[in-house]
Chain A
Amino acid sequence: MMSNFIDIYNKYFKYVYSISYRMIGKHDDAMDVTQEVFFRVYKALSRIKDESTVKSYIYRITINESLRWLNKNKKFSLSEVSMEKEGMKNELISDELSPFEFTVSEEIKDRLNQILQNLPPNYRAIIVLYYQEGLKIAEIADYLKKPEGTIKVYLQRAKAIIKNKLQEGHK
């Protein structure tokens, strides 16, 4: 059982840390969440039958633990609520769209990380799972226990917020 756990640990440690870090934004807190995730994986190991179950279980509890941590530590502020509204507004104003011409640099990556940390947790989770982990909408919907339509809408809103914030910072 322990050797099986070590294999899983070695394989998924980077995934779990990376998602937790993107969700929480601090190394120490991301490590706490990572530890909690693998502790729960160890306890559930006898019930996990195959490789696909392991992967989906790990993604699910990583997101849940990160959201639980954010909720417990109240890391989302009032500005996130306004961001959510802003996302909805940006989605509606299609006529005022401006070109999006950013190239990936270290400076832009830092700025993107800051924007991510201010996104509502659900939006953040969707962005991380979709772009960083390359999951499909259906998989994300399954992990977050939300309809696929809702995930698509959240994704569009999150992208609208990111675009807007990046362009605001560029002006």
Chain B
Amino acid sequence: MRALRVVTGIGVLAIFGVSSRVLAGLIGVNHLIGAILVGAVIANTVGIPEYIEPGVNTHKLWLEAGIILIGAGIVLEEVFSAGPFVLLLVLSVIVGTLVVAEFLAGLLGVKPKLGSLLASGTSVCGVSAVVSVAGGIDANESQIAYASATILLFDALTIFLYPAIGHLLGLSDFVFGVWSGLTMFSTGPVTAAGFSYSAKAGEWATLTKLTRNASIGIVTLLYVLVYSHFRTTTDSGYTSGRGGHITRLWTDFPKFFIGFIVMIFLGNTVLSTTTIQTLDNASNWLFLIAFVGLGLDLRLENLRSAGMIPILVVFLTLILFSSLVLALLLATA
């Protein structure tokens, strides 16, 4: 019975995906942006029946599978030539964003745990980081919902704003990809913005974002250590985390990153050009389905619970790092 609900939900995603591709072609909008818009409009107007939700909720699986497959088309020489510079930027942005967001949250009177959730969501990988760090520092449900809503609000805005700004400034594929991969929040919106700009920009955006995501375990562990050793438990107690520190690192690590790395090596060694082209086409279909689901998740009712002060903390951090990183990329690339 559940299997039927899952299959029906996936079928609905596929139908909406194909329809949005046709519709986007007709009105001259990128098909990925079109898929998100179609999903968001449906979610906020007629809604989707509860029956198909298990299938619709599989959209992150299609996103991750699509990301793994685009690994095959990434040229290793390009990664190695820009790698050290991008890696240095990723590390600087993660540390810098954590410090600035924590500082701003403290300055504006946000409770420590909520501030930490906002800082982790801003610096690492959006809602996944919020949930992961929340588990480590024992944040309560309302803090998680509050921080997630704030991050989702910015995800919803940056999906459309980043490509628009990129086109306005005439950014190169490399600059746009690395910029969005470094400074946008959740993986889905980064991938959508990147690939809606160009295939090359999408590859750089994904590569940069996944490098950021790989630090989720370390950031969570850092918060567990900080909360268990230095911070007082004024807002709801702390925990030293589930299991040992190594277990924690492995539990939080985004496993599909392993598949992405394996696919890069396969694409640069054994896979033929025709096979890589087929995998690229497959990832396009997977993204189309995934982004309809991403749009269906963009429900206004979920965004309304974001408060003004958390929004201000994230907004100031985003503006600061977005402009700093863009200036740096334009000056050096």
**Real complex partners, A and B?**
no
Q: Which residues of A are at the interface with B, using a C-beta cutoff of 8 A?
A: none
Q: Which residues of B are at the interface with A, using a C-beta cutoff of 8 A?
A: none
